[in-house]
Amino acid sequence: MDGGGARLNEAARDFAAREVEPHAAFWERERTFPKEALRAAGAAGLAEVRLPGHLLVEACEVFEELAAADYAFTFALACHAGAAGVLARHGRDPEPVLRGDEVGAFCLTEPGAGTDAAAITTAGRSDGDGWRVDGVKAWITNGVAASVFQLYAQTEVGSGHRGIACFDVRGPQPGLAAGPPYGLTAGHAMGLSDIHFENCEARLLIPPGDGFKAALRSIDSARAIVAAMCCGMLGRGLEIAVAHVKQRRAFGRPLAEFQALQWALAEAATDLEAARGLTYTAAAAIDAGRDATVAAAQAKKFAPAAAQRHLATCIQAMGAEGLRDHHPLARHLACTKMAQIQDGTNEAQSLVIARRLLA
């Protein structure tokens, strides 16, 4: 890793300890979107990790560090930073997003189109002077606060993926409205909501034909990032559980001396390293410009499932103490289920892997 990557990791670790971990339980309990923390992350340079010139491996390392404190905030920052990166790559000014003055959002999913991105029905049409868009997007991270939207829309009915383009839509403007924040099992710091677009002014960012390809590339990167975040959650859970069992005594000896716990934690540590291996293999392939669709699917399939399984083990090792909300373990465990659904379900990853395997 170069010096820049090491400095970013150190900055992320410090930011997580100072600005995320002390507040994450409050954000969840009060269902609060941490807009000021996004602004602070921008000031710390953490929103820059998706700009041209930064490797995805570096971004995954940063998001792994941050997710050790809170998955939901980190997912919000990843989407926000991703929006800045797309703007920069297509000649638009990312500075207001990088500073946190504007909040960015990626708008692909719809009420009737999730994993099947080619089925989107939000419409983009030329009005002679520019473009207008109409439709509803669902499950939009940062939706409750966003004003910079990268919107994927169909420009030609019946053309499938060939007609999909990406638009730069800015708010506030007439016809653009966020729905109420979703009530969820966990992850309220993501600020998830529907976004409604009615005859909204838009600027073409990625033309028809290239839009769908760009969306798929974004999804591969997002899957590696989600996998890295799950590594962060599991790593933190394992760290807390190990410290607890070394200190806590039962029947006259430390819990760490009981073989059943030793083996369970050893399995967790092994799967953590396996998840990191898959994650950073996928990220490195994307950085090298290689086809990483299967590698990203394998990382996304394995890491959230491993984190879910072994965070439960970590809680069990700590007994009732593991459930207290001044530890992040229960919050992390709930977010692993979200991670198994976001950016493509486990079943979708299995389909991607099987198609390539059996081709």
Are residues 268 and 319 both part of a single domain? yes
Are residues 227 and 344 both part of a single domain? yes
What pLDDT was estimated at residue 115? 72
What pLDDT was estimated at residue 101? 94
Q: Round to whole Å and give the CA distance between 153 and 163.
A: 8
Are residues 110 and 131 both part of a single domain? yes
What pLDDT was estimated at residue 151? 97
Are residues 202 and 293 both part of a single domain? no
Domain count, the chain: 3
Last residue in a domain, options 99, 118, 147? 99
Q: What is the CATH number of the domain that holds 141?
A: 2.40.110.10
Are residues 92 and 218 both part of a single domain? no
Are residues 11 and 84 both part of a single domain? yes
Are residues 195 and 272 both part of a single domain? no
Q: Round to whole Å and give the CA distance between 338 and 359.
A: 30
Are residues 55 and 116 both part of a single domain? no
Q: What is the CATH number of the domain that holds 37?
A: 1.10.540.10
The answer to whether 318 and 244 are in contact (CB under 8 A) is yes
Q: What is the CATH number of the domain that holds 256?
A: 1.20.140.10
Question: Mind listing the pLDDT tens digit of every residue in the chain (359 residues)?
Answer: 455 677 889 999 999 999 999 999 999 999 999 999 999 999 999 999 999 999 999 999 999 999 999 999 999 999 999 999 999 999 999 999 999 999 999 999 999 887 777 789 999 999 888 999 999 999 999 999 999 999 999 999 888 889 999 999 999 999 999 999 999 999 999 999 999 999 999 999 999 989 999 998 999 999 999 999 999 999 999 999 999 999 998 898 989 889 999 999 999 999 999 999 999 999 999 999 999 999 999 999 999 999 999 999 999 999 999 999 899 999 999 999 999 999 999 999 999 999 999 99
Q: Which tokens hold the place of 88?
A: 């920069």
Last residue in a domain, options 31, 64, 99? 99
Are residues 230 and 297 both part of a single domain? yes
Length of the chain: 359
Last residue in a domain, options 42, 73, 99? 99
What pLDDT was estimated at residue 196? 98
Per-residue buried b or exposed e for 180-191, using 16+ beta carbons within 10 Å of the residue's own CB: ebbeeebbbbbb
Q: Round to whole Å and give the CA distance between 17 and 310.
A: 23
Sign of CA dihedral 65, 71, 73, 75: positive
Unique residue bearing structure tokens 């002077």: 129
Q: Which tokens hold the place of 97?
A: 């997003």
Full domain range(s) for residue 320: 213-358
CA distances from residue 46 to 5, 149, 232 in whole angstroms, order as listed:
11, 20, 16
Are residues 231 and 332 both part of a single domain? yes
Are residues 195 and 117 both part of a single domain? yes
Q: Round to whole Å and give the CA distance between 84 and 261.
A: 44
Are residues 230 and 117 both part of a single domain? no
